[in-house]
Amino acid sequence: MRIGIIGGTGVYELAEKSGRTSRVHTSYETVEVTESEHAGHDLVFLARHGDDHAVPPHRVPYLANIDALRRKDCECIIATNAVGSTRDGMQPGDFVLPDQFIDFTKGRPLTFFDGGRKGVRHVDVTVPYCPALRRTAFKLLEDDAQPIHPAGTYVCTEGPRFETPAEIRMFQALGGDLVGMTGVPEVVLAREAGICYMTVCVVTNFAAGVARAPLREGEVTELMEQRLPVLRSFILSIAENIETVRDCDCRG
């Protein structure tokens, strides 16, 4: 099986150092990926923000990234996201496997089906994240006694600024548990491409108004660096244990 891995903020060491780096030409942009083998599977790693974290959330080439993994024949995508928590029960350092999202992005392309020769298609996202992948991931983290939440609602904002306390109160009222800047449209594009998709969120901080102090950009990368060894091991374990036949409707 070919498995795509999308590394977010602070997660660039998931790519095997012995991997083969290549450039994938898509209809949108050219994307660099690193391919390696693990436990009999082919892994295709992609750095969401570029290797040097030079691409801000609102300029990430989401369409090109997912199209590149599709062109590499990936059947599954395991993504990572650094997130803020709007709930006391989701603490910095915790892992969360979202099962729903709320989209508050504003100016980024959202679909492969933008009319014209590409046509129009309305995909169902009742279950936006692959339930089979999430079950596998939860079992692995639970067995490893890691702080893990099996579900949560991810709120995606445009960025690159952090949210205001008033926005966070609104998200809380809407049922949002986590806030980040890169989860959408990635999850939607994966569904349009017929690829099973899940993300492992790492809570790096409490959101504005929940935290007792102003937010620091550095605290996000600092905590991601602390959790990276566990996260790397976890991602590889998921790849090892992905079921070849999955009881999901991700592929349409």
Domain boundaries, the chain: 2-241
Q: Please give the structure tokens belonging to residue 218.
A: 């550095």
Report the pLDDT averaged over residues 142-171: 93
E-strand stretches of 170-209:
178-180, 196-206
Report d(CA 66, CA 71) in Å as an integer.
9
Tallying the residues shown for the chain, one arrives at: 252
In one-letter notation, the amino acid at residue 80 is: T
Whose tokens are 């993994």? That residue is 69
- Does 9 score more than 80 pLDDT? no
Predicted confidence at residue 221, as pLDDT, reads 81
pLDDT band at 11 (very low <50, low <70, confident <90, very high): low
Mean per-residue pLDDT over the chain, rounded: 91
What is the third-level CATH fold of 2-241?
A: Rossmann fold (3.40.50)
- Does 140 score more than 80 pLDDT? yes
DSSP letter, residue 110: -
Residue of higher predicted confidence among 124 and 225: 124
pLDDT band at 164 (very low <50, low <70, confident <90, very high): very high
Q: What is the pTM of this model?
A: 0.93
Q: Please give the structure tokens belonging to residue 83.
A: 């997130």
Percent of the chain with pLDDT over 90: 68
pLDDT band at 116 (very low <50, low <70, confident <90, very high): confident
pLDDT band at 18 (very low <50, low <70, confident <90, very high): low
C-alpha distances in Å from residue 59, one per residue of 31, 62, 64, 115, 195:
14, 8, 11, 22, 22
